[in-house]
Amino acid sequence: MKRIIILGSTGSIGRQALEIVQRTGEYQVVGLGARRDVDTLREQTPQFHPQVVAMTDAAAARRLRADISPQVEVLSGPEAMRELAVWGEADLVLVAVVGIAGLLPTLAALRAGRDVALANKETLVAGGALVMAEARRTGRQLLPIDSEHAAIMQCLRGELVSGVRRVLITGSGGPFLRRPLESLAQVTPDEALAHPTWKMGKKITVDSATLMNKGLEVIEAHWLFGLAAERIDVVIHPQSIVHSLVEFVDGSVKAQLAPPDMRLVIAYALRSEARVPLEAPRLSWDQLTLTFEPPDPARYPCLGYAYEALRIGGTMPAVLNASNEVAVEQFLAGGIGFLDIARSVRRAMDRHRPVAAPAVEEILAADEQARAHAATDLVS
């Protein structure tokens, strides 16, 4: 039986991963980690019997400690996730925490000789060069828990990357695909969170509305598959049935189709690309309509900023990501308008002087500085 540690077990991906673990019976849960969701982690601990649990919020960890078996080790504080990633003996670490917080645990897990299932876009966006170098050095697998990149991996099975002309990452276009541009300034957080096809966390749902999520996925695809920005395209596909396509040099195209259900992606990663029978919706081929269109740059400026950050490289993608995270938080809190998200990212990128080939400390410093500047800009 394989041993798994899940960072971010109380979130949507973490909960669905535990469902897959329970269904297959192929994994022993060694550790579970969360930021501050005591109630959910309190329920998961006696159900999955981890040796250790971790919470980055120290007060939440103290509450949890009082409610679970004394035989379970409790880690707490800002280093808790990194410590959890290397705890005891484990074969796979699933990183499903949000934001730049996933970078250090991912690097730690790889250095400890563990495969990583990565459901955190920001880790590769900010530190892709370091993460991929560590994966190559240790010979460990980096398995994307992301419908688009899992689709690309499936399309590339049995193929040579040298035979790829380009990959096409699909996106629904979010809830404002057909909304008049002049009305976007009046968008409310509730409207932005009404995704037409996927059920996701708040931050990634807003990123879907701005198409920043596709920009981050372009940067991820660059690192995962070794493709230049010019060989990665984004197409709007409102039905969210085709999750990515790969076009080859001979003109043929492979596509991966599935219902919009993240359990398929999680199961595929956890079972090393083997299929798990799931009670998931099936595609109705006699009623299937698939449409594709190019994204409108005026509607989705964040996508262009992501391509720009990738081409500049160094610490610029970390700044792109950090400034976007702060702006999305402010938008959800009602502090800024929807269009201010892209404006904040633009200002942060214009201000930043990127460091080429940065060390992890320089990436984290750029992230911190971008957050501080973005927060100041949005308050002033």
Which residues line the annotated binding site for NADPH? 10-13, 36, 120, 122, 201
Which sign, positive or negative, has the C-alpha torsion 329, 239, 265, 169? negative
- CA 304 vs CA 99, 164, 172, 205, 234: distances in Å: 21, 23, 17, 19, 11
**DSSP symbol at 195:** -
Annotated binding site: 10-13, 36, 120-122, 146-148, 172, 195, 201, 208, 213-214, 217
The residues facing 169 across adjacent strands are 234, 244
Q: Which residues are annotated as a binding site for 1-deoxy-D-xylulose 5-phosphate?
A: 121, 147-148, 172, 195, 208, 213-214, 217
What is the arrangement of strands in the sheet containing 73-76, beginning at the earlier edge strand? Answer: 73-76, 52-55, 27-34, 2-7, 92-95, 115-118, 142-144
Tell me the pairing of strands 27-34 and 164-171: unpaired
Whose CA is closest to 257, among 143, 165, 155?
155
Q: What is the DSSP letter of 7?
A: E
Residues making up the annotated binding site for Mn(2+) are: 146, 148, 217
Main-chain phi, psi angles of 238, to 5 degrees? -60, -25
**How many Å apart are CA 118 and CA 237, to the nearest integer?**
24
Which of 262, 255, 284 lies closest to 195, judged by CA? 262
- Within 180-292, strands assigned E span 232-236, 242-248, 253-257
